[in-house]
Amino acid sequence: MKKLIVLSAIATLTSGAALASDISVNGSVQSVCEVTNVDSSSVAFPSLVAGSTSDFDFSMKCNDYDGATVKLTSSEGHMQTVDGLDATGVGYTALLDAAPYNFTLSATTGSDDLSESQSKPGSAAFASGITGNILLTVVDTPIFSGNYTDQLSLTVTAN
């Protein structure tokens, strides 16, 4: 009888018992939002008079599903003279064209950290990378001789 009870217990433990375990499978992709391949670190107008233009190309990408905000910022709010009073400057516009982004910064006021931005939803094209152009146009002819300068920043930030 003892053998029968032991064999019954072994048969009960090994038959029909299915053991399961959950296994988590996951991974991650780092967020990358960047501006690259800027044609030049400096843009000079051949002649600093109203209507003069200069442009440069760039690339940018952002792989955030929610999209990104692209922003142009003028540190001085115009091209400020380096030879005279801080308030003396030359206004310009910066037209950014990088489909689907298209907007203009008017750097004509002399207000520090003047910016313009645009937000768009994410896309496979933008995650892979798009190219663009910024067209700069002088809107004022300076009254005084001298050197005029500004720092224009282009940033892309995930939404």
Yes or no: say if 56 and 43 are a contact pair by the CB < 8 Å rule.
yes
Query: What token pair was written down for 21?
Result: 């375990």
Query: What token pair was written down for 80?
Result: 């400020």
Listed residue (69, 87, 71) closest to 79, CA to CA: 87
Assign a CATH topology to domain 30-40+47-158.
Immunoglobulin-like (2.60.40)
Query: What token pair was written down for 135?
Result: 């067209």
Rounded to a whole number of angstroms, the CA Rg of the chain reads: 30
- C-beta neighbour count of 92 within 10 angstroms: 26
pLDDT at 90: 94
pLDDT at 4: 47
pLDDT at 70: 98
Query: What token pair was written down for 64?
Result: 């955030």
Query: Which one-letter amino acid corresponds to residue 60?
Result: M
Listed residue (64, 62, 40) closest to 156, CA to CA: 62
Strands 89-90 and 114-120 come out as unpaired
Name the pTM for this structure: 0.81
Give, rounded to a whole angstrom, the gap between the first and last alpha carbons of the chain: 75
pLDDT tens sequence for the chain (159 residues): 455 454 455 555 555 667 889 999 999 999 999 999 888 788 888 889 999 999 999 999 999 999 999 999 999 999 998 876 666 899 999 999 999 999 999 999 989 999 999 999 999 999 999 999 999 999 989 888 889 999 999 999 999
